Amino acid sequence: MKKRPAPTMTSSSNEGSGHGVELALLVLVYLLIGIGLDAWLNTQPIFTIALVLIAVIGQFVKTYYAYNARMTLLEEKRAQSTRARPER
């Protein structure tokens, strides 16, 4: 029986690091925009909190759908590979 190739540590850790950096930078950008809007409109801290929440929730939703799409693709690949195997 063939064993599935294990993902390399560098590819999975690089992918995870990329997602972490993306999340941190997006939250930072939205935080700075919120601080700027609050200072300009004198509405401390309404826009800061709202924009940071939007950034975090948006990233979690994006991650959820990307994960589901990836799992669906892997399930389809696995189903195709089991159908392609000759019976003994």
Instruction: Give a yes or no: residue 3 inside a domain.
Output: no
- For residue 39, what are the domain limits? 22-81
Angle at the Cα of 70 from the Cα atoms of 58 and 2, rounded to 5 degrees: 155
How sure is the predictor about 13, in pLDDT bands with cuts at 50, 70 and 90? confident
C-beta of residue 38 within 8 angstroms of C-beta of residue 52: no
Instruction: Give a yes or no: residue 50 inside a domain.
Output: yes
Instruction: Give a yes or no: residue 72 inside a domain.
Output: yes
d(CA 32, CA 48): 8
Does the structure show a pLDDT above 90 at 84?
Answer: no
pTM for this predicted structure: 0.72
The domain tally of the chain equals 1
Instruction: Give a yes or no: residue 86 inside a domain.
Output: no
